[in-house]
C-alpha cells in the first residue's frame, strides 16, 4: 500500500488544523519541562487481511485500535503508562490524570471513532485486493498440474502523534501491504512460496501466481525435492537472502540496548567489501520520524571492514552521550520503546550474478531463507532454507528439500565473499519480533557468495 492508494488528508505533516495534533499540543503543554521530561505517544491503527484457498470463499478482516501512552525514559527509573480508546477530546484530561493521579476522576470512553472516515477509506482497497487474490489462485490452479493455492494479503495503516514537555507535537504515518502466495501439491506438500511488499493494490495477482506455479512445476517435473546431505556446502544466496542473515546476526547485535554485550562489541575485523546498512525510511512500514519524534537516519552498521554505529533510541543515546539516530520504535501504544531495525540490507557490489553461478562447480543456490534461532551475543544462528536448488557444473539443477543451516557470523562475515550488483528488497519474511513486540521490517541484498556453511542433520 502506498500513500496514493486513497485520499490522504491525515498524511499532510503541514496540516496544523488536525484535531489530534491540537489535543497532543495541549497535553504536552502540561508536562514538566526538564531534559528527561515524559513524552506522549498517541496511536491510531488499522489492520486488515484477506485470504483464500482453492475454490472456497475468501475470508477477510479489518480491525482498529487507538490509545495514548506516556513514557519517562530516565536511566534511573524509566516507566511507561497507557490507556486504550482515548478520544481526541479526552487527551488533555487523561494527561492531567497521569500528572496528578490522586485527583484523577477521568475514565476514557474506550471507543475509537471513525469521524474522519479513516476505516472507510482503508476498506476502499478491498474490491481490488479481492480480485488480485483470486487472480493468484486462478493462475496456480488453472495450470497443467494438480496444484492448489493459498494466498494471504495483510496490510496496516498507522498514524502516530507525540510530543514532549514544551515541545511542538510531531506526526508520522506508516503503511504496509504484503502478500504471500503458496502453491502446494497433494503428493509433495508446499512446492513454492512467493512473498512481496506491494507498491500498488492492483496488478500483482496473476504474475505472482504464475511465478509460484512455474516453481511448482519444476519440483513436480524433478519428481520432488532432493534431500541435501549433512556437512559443509558451498552456498550462493539469491537476491535479498543475505539481508536475512545480516538482520539477525548484525542488526540485532547492534541494537542499542544489547550492543555492548554482543559479538560485535569488540569491533572485530570483517570483510572490507561488506557494507551493511539500516535505513528506516525505505521499505515496508517505513518511518520518517521514530516513536519519540526523532528524525530517522541511515546508519552504517558495517563499512570498510569495521563495525559502525549502533541503533539508538533517546534513552540509549543519552546513556552514550550522543544524539539518537531515530530508531526508537514500539509495536503499539501499549509497548515501551526499544531500539529497532527498519530496512536492513547488504549494499550492492560489482559482481555479475550469472557469472557467480557459473563459477560454482558444486553447491547450493538459496532462494528463500528464514531465521530459526539466533544468538546476537555469540554471533551464531540457525536458519531454515525453505527453497533452494543444487548447483552442478555452474548450472542450477534439482530443487532441494527444506533444511537447517548453522552460521557463525565471525567466520562468515570476515572470510572470502563475492557480492553481486542486483540489490533486491522485500522478497521474504517481513516482520521481526523482539521482546514480544512485532514490527514490520524490510531486508535486502544482492546475490552474495559467502563461502561454506554447515547443513545440520
Distance CA 139, CA 193 (A): 14
What pLDDT is stored for residue 243 in this prediction?
95
What pLDDT is stored for residue 23 in this prediction?
87
Comparing 39-43, 103-107, 167-171, 354-358, the range with the smallest average pLDDT is 103-107
pLDDT category, 39, cuts 50, 70, 90?
confident
pLDDT in tens, 215-253: 999 999 999 899 999 999 999 999 999 999 999 999 999
pLDDT category, 5, cuts 50, 70, 90?
very low
pLDDT at 435 over 70: yes
Look at strands 424-425 and 170-185 and give their pairing: unpaired
pLDDT at 287 over 90: yes
Q: CATH code for 3-221?
A: 3.30.2290.10
**Mean pLDDT across the stretch 77-87?**
84
Look at strands 343-346 and 276-278 and give their pairing: antiparallel
If you count them, how many residues does the chain have? Answer: 457
CA angle 252, 253, 258 (to 5 degrees): 100
Look at strands 338-339 and 231-237 and give their pairing: unpaired
b/e 347-364 (16+ beta carbons within 10 angstroms → b): bbbebebeebbeebeebb
**Mean pLDDT across the stretch 57-83?**
86
Domain with CATH 3.30.2290.10 in the chain: 3-221
Average model confidence (pLDDT) across the chain: 89
What's the whole-model pTM score? 0.91
pLDDT at 332 over 90: yes
Instruction: State percent of the chain over pLDDT 70.
Output: 89
Look at strands 442-445 and 343-346 and give their pairing: parallel
Look at strands 395-400 and 380-392 and give their pairing: antiparallel
Instruction: State percent of the chain over pLDDT 90.
Output: 71
What sections of 253-345 are H helices per DSSP? Answer: 314-320
What pLDDT is stored for residue 9 in this prediction?
39
pLDDT in tens, 199-211: 899 999 999 999 9
What pLDDT is stored for residue 448 in this prediction?
97
pLDDT in tens, 43-57: 999 999 999 998 899
pLDDT in tens, 106-141: 444 444 455 457 888 899 999 999 999 999 999 999
pLDDT in tens, 253-286: 999 999 999 999 999 999 999 999 999 999 889 9
Neighbours of 376 (CB within 10 A): 22
Task: Give SS3 for 56.
Answer: coil
pLDDT at 102 over 90: no
Task: Give SS3 for 130.
Answer: helix
What pLDDT is stored for residue 203 in this prediction?
95
What pLDDT is stored for residue 79 in this prediction?
79
Comparing 26-35, 60-69, 223-232, 417-426, the range with the smallest average pLDDT is 26-35
Helix axes 205-221, 126-141, angle to 10 degrees: 20
Distance CA 429, CA 341 (A): 14
CB 284 within 8 A of CB 198: no
Helix axes 19-29, 91-99, angle to 10 degrees: 20
**Mean pLDDT across the stretch 61-80?**
83
What pLDDT is stored for residue 82 in this prediction?
93
pLDDT category, 168, cuts 50, 70, 90?
confident
CB-based contacts of 101, cutoff 8 Å, min separation 6: none
pLDDT at 189 over 70: yes
pLDDT at 374 over 60: yes
What pLDDT is stored for residue 1 in this prediction?
32
What pLDDT is stored for residue 232 in this prediction?
93
More confident residue, 41 or 34: 41
pLDDT at 166 over 90: no
Quick one: which of 260, 262, 284, 423 has its CA closest to 342? 284
What pLDDT is stored for residue 389 in this prediction?
97
- DSSP calls for 77-112: S-EEEEEES--GGGHHHHHHHHHSGGG---------
pLDDT category, 300, cuts 50, 70, 90?
very high
CB 231 within 8 A of CB 357: no
Amino acid at each position: 500500500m502506498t500513500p496514493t492508494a486513497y485520499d490522504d488528508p491525515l498524511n499532510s505533516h503541514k496540516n496544523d488544523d488536525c484535531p489530534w495534533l491540537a489535543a497532543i499540543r495541549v497535553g504536552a503543554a502540561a508536562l514538566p519541562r526538564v531534559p528527561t521530561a515524559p513524552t506522549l505517544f498517541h496511536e491510531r491503527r488499522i489492520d486488515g487481511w484477506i485470504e483464500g484457498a482453492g475454490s472456497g470463499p475468501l475470508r477477510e478482516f479489518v480491525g482498529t485500535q487507538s490509545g495514548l501512552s506516556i513514557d519517562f525514559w530516565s536511566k534511573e527509573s524509566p516507566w511507561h503508562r497507557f490507556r486504550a480508546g482515548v478520544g481526541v477530546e479526552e487527551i488533555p484530561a487523561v494527561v492531567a490524570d497521569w500528572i496528578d493521579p490522586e485527583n484523577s476522576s477521568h475514565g476514557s470512553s474506550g471507543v475509537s471513532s471513525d469521524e474522519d472516515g479513516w476505516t472507510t477509506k482503508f476498506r476502499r482497497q478491498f474490491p481490488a485486493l479481492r480480485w488480485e487474490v483470486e487472480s493468484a489462485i486462478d493462475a496456480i490452479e488453472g495450470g497443467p498440474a494438480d496444484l492448489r493455492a493459498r494466498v494471504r494479503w495483510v496490510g496496516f495503516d498507522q498514524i502516530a502523534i507525540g510530543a514532549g514537555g514544551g515541545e511542538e507535537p510531531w506526526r508520522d504515518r506508516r503503511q504496509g501491504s504484503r502478500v504471500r502466495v503458496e502453491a502446494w501439491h497433494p503428493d509433495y506438500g508446499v512446492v513454492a512460496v512467493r512473498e512481496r511488499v506491494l507498491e500498488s493494490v492492483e496488478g500483482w495477482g496473476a504474475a505472482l501466481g504464475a511465478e509460484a506455479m512455474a516453481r511448482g512445476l519444476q519440483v513436480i517435473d524433478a519428481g520432488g525435492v532432493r534431500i541435501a546431505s549433512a556437512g559443509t556446502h558451498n552456498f550462493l544466496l539469491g537476491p535479498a537472502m543475505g539481508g536475512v542473515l545480516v538482520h539477525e546476526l548484525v542488526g540485532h547485535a547492534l541494537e542499542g540496548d544489547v550492543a555492548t554485550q554482543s559479538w560485535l562489541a569488540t569491533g572485530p575485523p570483517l570483510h572490507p567489501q561488506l557494507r551493511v546498512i539500516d535505513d528506516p525510511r525505505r521499505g515496508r512500514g517505513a518511518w520518517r520520524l521514530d516513536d519519540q519524534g526523532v528524525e530517522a537516519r541511515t546508519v552504517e552498521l558495517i563499512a570498510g571492514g569495521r563495525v559502525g554505529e549502533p541503533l539508538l533510541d533517546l534513552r540509549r543515546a543519552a546513556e552514550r552521550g550522543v544524539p539518537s539516530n531515530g530508531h526508537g520504535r514500539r509495536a503499539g501504544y501499549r509497548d515501551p520503546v526499544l531500539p529497532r531495525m527498519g530496512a536492513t540490507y547488504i549494499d550492492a557490489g560489482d559482481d555479475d550474478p550469472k557469472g557467480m553461478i557459473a563459477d560454482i562447480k558444486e553447491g547450493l543456490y538459496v532462494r528463500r531463507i528464514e531465521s530459526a534461532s539466533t544468538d546476537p551475543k555469540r554471533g551464531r544462528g540457525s536458519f531454515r532454507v525453505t527453497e533452494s536448488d543444487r548447483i552442478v557444473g555452474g548450472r542450477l539443477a534439482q530443487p532441494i528439500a527444506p533444511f537447517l543451516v548453522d552460521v557463525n557470523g565471525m567466520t562468515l562475515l570476515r572470510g572470502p565473499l563475492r557480492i553481486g550488483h542486483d540489490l533486491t528488497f522485500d522478497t521474504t519474511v517481513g516482520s521481526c519480533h523482539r521482546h514480544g513486540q512485532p514490527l514490520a521490517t524490510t531486508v535486502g541484498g544482492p546475490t552474495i557468495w559467502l563461502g561454506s556453511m554447515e547443513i545440520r542433520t
